[in-house]
Structure 1
C-alpha cells in the first residue's frame, strides 16, 4: 500500500471509530485492525494517538478554515459601513462545511459527532491544538457575529452561541436518522443540505431573539 493510501486508510478508520466509540474507548489496535495496517505504520505517520486525533480534525478543518477565511475577510473589510446579516453568516458557515466534506456524504455528520465528543470528553490537547491552529479565522467569525447581534450582551451572546452549537451538533450528527424519520413520517426524502436549510432559520431566530431582562 502506498504511503498516501496508508495515511488515508488510517485516518478513515480513526475517524469512524472515534465517532462510534469515543476517543478513550478506541485503541490504536482497533484502528490498525480496521485500516488493515500494522501499529508501526501509525507510529511512523502520526507518532501518537493524540497526534492522530488532531490529524483527524485537521483533515476536515484545514480546507474548511482556508475557504472560510477568504469569505470572512471580504465581509470583515466592509465593516462598519455595511453590517453583516446573521442569517447570511450562518449560511456561509454551512455552505463552507458542506464543501469541506464534499468527498464523502457522511463526512459532515461524522465530524459533528467528533466535535460533540471534543466538548464532552477530556481532550485538553485537542482544544489547545484547535486554538493554536484555527483561532484566527473563528475570531473573525465571532467579530462578525457580534456585529450582527448588537443588542446582545457578551454574556447573552456566549450562551446563545453554545446553545446554537449544541443544536447544530445534535442535528447534523444524526442527520441520517433524522432524514429517515422525516421520510417515514412526512413521506418526503431529504439530504443533509436540506436539513441545514431547515436548521439555519431556527438558529438565526434563536440567536437574535429579543433578550428578556430578569
Structure 2
C-alpha cells in the first residue's frame, strides 16, 4: 500500500468515526481497524490522535479557504466595496461549486458534524490549530461585516457570527433528516442548493440587523 493511500485510508476512517462517535469516544484502535492499518502507520504519518484530528479538519479547510480567498479577491476586483450579501454569496459558491454533488453533500454534512463537535467537546488544541492556520481568512470575513455595520460592537459581532455558525452547522449536518422531514410535511423535495438559497437570506438578515439602541 502506498503512503498516500495509507494516509487517505486513515483520514477517511477517522473522519467517519469522529463524526459518528465524537473525538473522545473514538480510539486509535477503532480507526486503525476501520482503515485496515496498524498503529505504527498512524504514529508515523500523524504522530498523535490530536494531530490526526487536526489533519481531518485541515483536509477540508485548507482547500476551502484557498478557494474562498481567491473568490474574495475576484469579488474585490469587480467591486471596490462589496457588500455583505456579496460576501455571503461568495461563501455559498465556494461551499457548493467544484465537487460532485453526491460526494460534496455527504462531505459537507460530515464536516459540519465535526465542526459542531469542535464546539461541544473540549478540544483546545483544535481551536489553537484553527486559529493558527485559518484566522486570516476568518478575520477577512469578519472585516466585511464590520465595514457593512461599523456600529456593531465586537461583542455583538462575536455572538452574531456564532449564532450564524450554529444555524449552518445544524442545518447542514442534519440535511438528510431535514430533507426527509420537509418531504413528509410539505411534499416538496429540496436539494442542498435549495436549502442554502433559503438559509443565506435568513442569516444575512440576522447578521446585518441594526444594533439595538
Asked if 1 retains the 8 angstrom alpha-carbon contact of 2:10 and 2:32, the reply is yes
> Alpha-carbon deviations, 1:40-79, whole Å to 9, x = none?
2111211110111010000000110111112223445688
Partner residue, 1:129:
129
Aligned counterparts of 2:55 and 2:210: Cα–Cα separation in 1: 40
- 1:6-85 map, 5 Å: 6-76=6-76, 82-85=80-83
Query: How many angstroms does 1:117 deviate by?
Result: 0.9
Aligned counterparts of 2:11 and 2:98: Cα–Cα separation in 1: 16
Normalised TM-score (structure 2): 0.91
Aligned counterparts of 1:85 and 1:151: Cα–Cα separation in 2: 15
Query: How many angstroms does 1:186 deviate by?
Result: 1.2
Asked if 2 retains the 8 angstrom alpha-carbon contact of 1:113 and 1:173, the reply is yes
Normalised TM-score (structure 1): 0.91
Partner residue, 2:84:
86
1:104–1:212 CA distance, 2 compared to 1 (3 A): closer
Aligned counterparts of 2:135 and 2:109: Cα–Cα separation in 1: 22
Residue 180 in structure 1 maps to residue 212 in structure 2: no
Aligned counterparts of 2:97 and 2:47: Cα–Cα separation in 1: 29
Asked if 1 retains the 8 angstrom alpha-carbon contact of 2:71 and 2:94, the reply is no
Secondary structure (helix, strand or coil) at the match of 1:105 reads helix
Aligned counterparts of 1:77 and 1:147: Cα–Cα separation in 2: 17
Instruction: Count how many residue pairs are aligned between Structure 1 and Structure 2.
Output: 211
> Alpha-carbon deviations, 1:131-163, whole Å to 9, x = none?
111111111111112112234232222211111
CA RMSD of aligned residues (A): 1.9
Q: Which 4+ stretches in 1 moved above 3 angstroms?
A: 73-79, 99-104
Secondary structure (helix, strand or coil) at the match of 2:190 reads coil
1:136–1:77 CA distance, 2 compared to 1 (3 A): farther
1:97 is aligned, of 95, 98, 102, to: 95
Which segment drifts farther, 50-59 or 179-188?
A: 179-188
